[in-house]
């Protein structure tokens, strides 16, 4: 399956020489899928995304792995980066892994000379479309609130991530593979809305959400 990515360019303030001896003046930093980030977390014992109890050394190695995967840099090229450029790149990587899709969609629209669309939290547009085995290519998702029955069924899973996956899959009608292939800004957008449904009272949501 062909999956696109969202990327942005960072121009190096202090260019480096790549492993082939060529000048490297800019880097494309791209989004990562949920599947990729979970695989990297597993390497460093952070499967559920929890950093509590992890040593600073482990967290630094994990962030380095994210940066290398997001940029395509080799270890030696990474070490040649000047620290201010490294700081800038790491900030972008963190935003792409931990942030939501909305600011990236806005940047994308402005870069294309388009009007920034109003965000519907219950029908978010995906930054990176995914392929669902039943629906085909999906570029926008309708999110429905979970039922009490679904919440109780999900709690039967001991793995917190599996609980989340079951709930998000049911609320979006997307299969597990499509969710795992989802890129992190889109996944973060979905899980934040589902968390709202699970934790907030009815008056938190506008009438349109309740009636749709």
CB 43 within 8 A of CB 65: yes
CB 189 within 8 A of CB 130: no
Residue 1: predicted pLDDT: 42
**pLDDT per residue rounded down to tens, the chain (212 residues):** 444 889 999 999 999 999 999 999 999 999 999 999 999 999 998 866 555 567 889 999 999 999 999 999 999 999 999 999 999 999 999 999 999 999 999 998 888 888 887 889 999 999 999 999 989 999 999 999 999 999 999 999 999 999 999 999 999 999 999 999 999 999 999 999 999 999 999 999 987 645 44
Query: How many CA atoms lie less than 13 Å away from 63 in the CB half-sphere?
Result: 18
> What is the rounded CA–CA span in Å between residue 42 and residue 116?
37
Residue 47: predicted pLDDT: 67
Which residue in 112, 107, 111, 80 sits closest to 95, CA to CA? Answer: 107
Residue 88: predicted pLDDT: 97
pLDDT tens-digit readout, 76-109? 999 999 999 999 999 999 999 999 999 999 998 8
Residue 21: predicted pLDDT: 97
């Amino acid at each position: 399956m062909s999956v696109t990515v969202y990327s942005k360019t960072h121009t190096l303030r202090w260019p480096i020489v790549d492993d082939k001896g060529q000048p490297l003046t800019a880097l494309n930093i791209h989004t990562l899928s949920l599947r990729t980030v979970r695989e990297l977390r597993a390497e460093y014992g952070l499967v559920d995304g929890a950093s509590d109890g992890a040593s600073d050394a482990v967290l630094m190695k994990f962030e380095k792995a994210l940066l290398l995967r997001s940029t395509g840099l080799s270890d030696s090229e990474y070490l040649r980066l000047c620290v201010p450029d490294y700081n800038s790149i790491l900030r972008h990587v963190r935003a792409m892994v931990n942030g939501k899709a909305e600011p990236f969609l806005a940047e994308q629209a402005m870069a294309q000379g388009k009007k920034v669309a109003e965000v519907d939290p219950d029908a978010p547009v995906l930054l990176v479309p995914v392929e669902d085995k039943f629906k085909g290519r999906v570029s926008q998702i309708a999110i429905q609130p979970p039922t009490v029955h679904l919440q109780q069924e999900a709690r039967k899973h001991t793995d917190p991530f599996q609980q989340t996956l079951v709930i998000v899959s049911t609320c979006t009608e997307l299969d597990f593979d499509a969710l795992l292939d989802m890129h992190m800004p889109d996944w973060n957008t979905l899980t934040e809305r589902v968390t709202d449904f699970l934790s907030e009272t009815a008056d938190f949501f506008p009438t349109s959400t309740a009636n749709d």
